[in-house]
Structure 1
Amino acid sequence: MIREDRFLISRKPYAIDLSSLRVTEPSPHGSVWAEVDAVWFRRRRGVTVACTGTLRDLQDATPADAHAFLAAHDDGRYGGHCNGRWDGERYWGAQEPFRMALDLELLEPMLAAYPAIPDGYDGWWTFQTA
């Protein structure tokens, strides 16, 4: 992934929580599943939505930090794994009230401040090359 200074929704950017890197135990071959928390905006049927979820990747070696993970994560075919989405009227995602409340606490102000990066996140990261 590459980091860009400006937001262009057409480039499908993500804002990343750089402190959220999680890594599984290495397999016998040394590869690991790694993931970071992320938020992003997308357009669905002409409506801008705010999403929260993760970016996950199988990597050859344990990344030292989130920057190393992002540098090695170069396959954006599947995009982020969305856990919650808010379009200003409807929420899609978790069905547990506590999780819904946490998601909406992040997504409602995020959509209202479009296209600002929420506090605690670093952006904008994209799979697309310049």
Structure 2
Amino acid sequence: MSVSFNHTIIASKDRARSAAFFRDLLELGEAPSWGVFTNIVLDDGVLLQFAEPPVDIQMQHYAFLVDDELFRRAYARLIEADIDHWADPQMRRKGECNSGHGGRGVYFFDPPGHAIELITRPYL
């Protein structure tokens, strides 16, 4: 059997708000949810499970590979929502996106404060 990524739990103080943020940004449909999880499913079947932990949330980094058209629409939504964003992970180039690795990329924070990256070309 080959190895593939199946799911991850993303901590959030408001799981419904976080799931809605990603559904809207990445144009994803509703997914079945259960128990303490509000779920969304990416096009490749990877499940993102949003949960409200009983502890302080530590920032994590999540990067999403998207096509050029979805990037254009998602980037426009970031600007429209006045979400701070940067072209670099060091947050030196505010209000820009990058053109690294032959594509485009942008960094920003989701509602609970996780560092999110959208890229149009994989690093490898």
Question: The TM-score by the shorter chain falls in which range?
Answer: under 0.3
Superposition TM-score, scaled by structure 2 size: 0.28
Instruction: Give 1 or 2: higher strand fraction.
Output: 1
